[in-house]
Amino acid sequence: MSDYVKQMIELREKEKRLKKVPLFQEIIKFQELQKECKDFGAYDTEPSYTFKEFIIGFFSGREVKVPVTAGQWELFSDMPGVEGVAKKLTKQLERIMNTRVTMKEVADVLSWFGWNRYFR
């Protein structure tokens, strides 16, 4: 078996394990919500960056401010209904914050999303 095939098998096994971790599940739900609200800019670079920075800061124990408004999420703030989208994003973010998780799980999940290098 080639090294590439071994790596792919290892990745699939890791993904299977992570899918059972509540933090992983809640982050996936957040990303699905972003896609669902993409017309409001929720799936753009800026809200994704806001989310990533919050998650890394929160799980690193730094003081972070929960984004609440469309402006804080950097959504298309001139669209009708955008504040409702901001509230949905914030609600899902709060679900993530309230997820019971070990630091090992946090490290594994952040690593899966490529955020581990920022996690301190």
**Does the pLDDT at position 91 exceed 80?**
yes
Q: What is the pTM of this model?
A: 0.87
Structure tokens at 20: 């059972």
Specify the pLDDT at position 52: 94
Closest by CA to 106, choosing from 91, 94, 88, 118, is: 118
63 occurs within a structural domain: yes
Name 75's Cβ contacts closer than 8 Å, sequence gap at least 6: 40, 41, 42, 47, 82, 85, 86
Residue matched to tokens 């070990």: 102
What's the structural domain count of the chain? 1
Residue 118: what pLDDT?
A: 59
The whole domain housing 39 covers: 13-118
Mean per-residue pLDDT, 51-74: 94
Please indicate, yes or no, if residue 3 is contained in any of the structural domains. Answer: no
Asked whether the predicted pLDDT for residue 120 surpasses 60, the reply is: no
